[in-house]
Chain A
Amino acid sequence: MTLRADLAKIAELVPAGVRVLDVGCGSGELMAELRDAKGVDARGMEIDAAEVERAVARGLSVVQGDANRDLADYPDQAFDVAILSQTLQTAERPDWLLEQLLRVGKVAFVSFPNFAYWRMRLSLLWTGKMPNSRHLPANWYETANIHHTTIFDFLELAGERGIRVEGSWFFAAGREIGGANANWRAEHAVFQLSR
C-alpha cells in the first residue's frame, strides 16, 4: 500500500508504540500503517459513515463524528500524537481545531494544501478564477475546503497562538522538497506542533 506523500511523512515521524488520534482519518490508511508498522495504538474520527464502516471493517477504532464539535469530548492530553491531515482547510474554525488538537494531543501533525503554491497563484493571475488543481479538484461553490490557507498564514496563526513549530516538511508533485521559498514552491506542507 502506498500512502500519499504527506501521510507517508507523518507515518515516518510518529514514534513507535504511542497513542495516536487521527482526526479526519478517512478509511484509516494511515492508522493501519501506524498500527502494522509501528505498533501504534491508533484511534480515528471521521464524519463520513461509509469511510468509518471501511475503517472498522479493517479492525480499527474509529468514531463517526464531526471534529468541529466532537473533539471537545476528549480529555486533555489523552493522546501522545494528534494528527490532522488535509482536514484543516475544511474546518469551521481552523484556529479552534488547532487548539483542540494540541489540547488532546501532546504533539500534533498537521498537513494541508498550500494555496500560495505557484501554480495556484498563476492560475488565479491568468484566469481570474478560483484555481482547480489535482489536490483541490472541486468548484468553489461545492468544495469542502472552506478555509484555504498558505504556509505564511499558518505560521502567522501559530505564532499568534503561541504554538511551537517543531518541524516542517514540504512537498510538490508528490515528492519532498527543501524548505527554501516553500510558500510558493510547496503544494503541501506538514507541520509538527506542540504547546
Chain B
Amino acid sequence: MATLSDLNLNRRALPAPLPLDSGRELPGVELAYETYGELAADGGNAILLFHALTGDQFVASDQPLTGKPGWWVRMVGPGKVIDTDRFFVICANVIGGCMGSTGPSSIGPEGKPWGMEFPVITISDMVRAQVALLDQLGIGRLHAVVGGSMGGMQALSFAANYPDRAERVLAIATTARHSAQNIAFHEVGRQAIMADPEWQAGAYYESGKGPEKGLSVARMAAHITYLSEAGLTEKFGRRLQDRDSKTFGFDADFQIESYLRYQGLSFTNRFDANSYLYITRAMDYFDLAEEHGGMLADAFRKSDARFCLISFDTDWLYTTSDMREVVHALNAVAAPVSFVELSAPFGHDSFLLDVPALDRVMKGFLE
C-alpha cells in the first residue's frame, strides 16, 4: 500500500502562523485539499464541504491510500445533488488530520514529527484554517457551507464566526455541543489508543510501529455509535461468521464481531492514532453556546445566511433533540431556517448512505 509521502497531494501553505483557541499558535500550517468543478468568474458558485472525524478531502474522487471511492461520491459530482457542473466544491483535510494537512504526524519545528507536542485544537481552529485557505484561493462569499457530523459542527461554527461569508449553511446529523455521552465514547477510544504499549506516549512515528491495536479498538467502539440497533440487528442479527456452531472460544464467532474487527483493522491502514486523539478532543471541546457567552442564539445573531438542518430518526449519536436546540436558537434570532427529521434505518451514518429524501431536501435548499 502507498504511504502518504508517496502521494502527490494538492497542498497550500498558509502565509502566517494560525492563532488557536488555546492561546498557542500553529506555525507552518499546510492544508491539503481537493476541488471539483470550475470556479465561476464572479466566484459565487463555491461550496465548502467539511469532512467528518475520519473523513478527508477526497469527497468525490478515489481515496489514494485505500483506492476506495470518495466518501460522498453519491452526493457530489456532475449532475448530482451537489452538481459539480454548476458548483465549485472545495474540501480540505482538517488541521490535526492525517491526509496531508498539518497534524501530529507532520514534521514540527524541531525537525521531527509533532506527536503529542502538537497543540490541542478546536473545531473553530479547524474552520479558521479553512477560511485562511479560502483567502489564499481568492474565494470571498460562498454559495454554501455543507457538512455532516463533525462537518456539521464546522458548518455551524463557520456560520457563527464568519457570519457574512456564506449564503447558505447546511448541517446534517450534528450538534452544537458534545454531550457527556459523546465525550464518554471518545474517551473510551482515546484510552484504548493510549493503553497500547506501541503508542509510546505518541512518539511512535520513527519506531516503525504504532498503536494499531488501540486505534482499531477505538474505531470499533466508535463504529457502533454510527449504526442503529435495528440496523445492526437487520444486517447481522446473531448470525455466525463462516461456521455452523459456536466455537466455545474467543474467535469472531458472530458476524458483527468479524465486521467490527475488519472495520477496526482497515482503519489503521489509513488513519493516524494521534490524529484520532486530537480530532476527537476537538469535538469534545465543541460547545458553540459556551463560545458565545452561554447563549446559543447569540452565536447566530450576526448571521445573514439561510440555514437548513437535517437529523435522522435512528441517529442516537447526534439526535433530533440536539438539532432542535439549534433550530430553537435560530428561531430566537428569526433566522431563515429549515429543519426536518428524516426517517432512515442507518443511524448516524444515514447522511452518507442512500436516503432519497436527503437528496431532495439538499437539492432544494442548495438551488
Contact = CB atoms under 8 A, between A and B. Distances in A.
Interface string A65-94: 100001001110011000000000000000
Interface residues of B, number: 24
Interface stretch (B27-35, B64-72, B324-332): B324-332
A56 B365 contact: yes
A21 to B, nearest CB: 9
A61 B364 contact: no
A75 B331 CA distance: 8
B361 interface: yes
Interface stretch (B270-278, B285-293, B336-344): B336-344
A147 interface: no
Contacts of A75: 331-334
Task: Please classify the interface of chain B as helix (H, G, I), strand (E, B), loop, or mixed, using the class held by over half of its residues.
Answer: mixed
Interface in A145-175: none
Interface in B215-233: none
A59 B341 contact: no
A61 B341 CA distance: 14
B367 interface: yes
Contacts of B365: 56, 59
Given A53-B340, A56-B338, A56-B340, A63 B331 contact: yes
A50 B340 CA distance: 9
A64 B367 CA distance: 20
B360 interface: yes
A65 B342 contact: no
Contact of A65 (B306, B339, B357): B339
A49 B334 contact: no
B308 interface: yes
Contacts of B340: 49, 52-53, 56, 62, 64
A74 to B, nearest CB: 5
A41 B336 contact: yes
A58 B363 CA distance: 9
B341 A56 contact: no
A76 to B, nearest CB: 11
Nearest to A71: B331
A56 B336 CA distance: 12
A65 B330 CA distance: 14
Most B CB contacts (10 A, CB to CB) among A61, A75, A78 go to A61
B327 A53 contact: no
Contacts of A65: 324, 327, 339
Given A59-B365, A61-B306, A74 B342 contact: no
B327 A74 contact: no
A13 interface: no
B364 A59 contact: yes
Contacts of A79: 334
Most A CB contacts (10 A, CB to CB) among B340, B341, B361, B364 go to B340
Interface string B234-259: 00000000000000000000000000
Contacts of B308: 56
Most A CB contacts (10 A, CB to CB) among B308, B331, B332, B367 go to B331
Contact of B327 (A41, A56, A63, A78): A63
Contacts of A60: 338
A57 interface: yes
A70 B329 CA distance: 12
A51 to B, nearest CB: 10
A188 interface: no
B183 to A, nearest CB: 27
Nearest to B342: A49
B367 A53 contact: no
Contacts of B343: 49
Nearest to A43: B336
A65 B324 CA distance: 9
Given A49-B342, A59-B364, A74 B332 contact: yes
10 contacts: A52-B339, A53-B360, A56-B338, A56-B364, A57-B361, A57-B364, A62-B338, A63-B331, A70-B328, A74-B334
Ranked nearest first, the 5 interchain pairs of A and B with the lowest CB-CB distance are A57-B364, A61-B336, A78-B334, A52-B340, A63-B339
Interface of A: 19, 41, 43, 49, 52-53, 55-65, 70, 73-75, 78-79
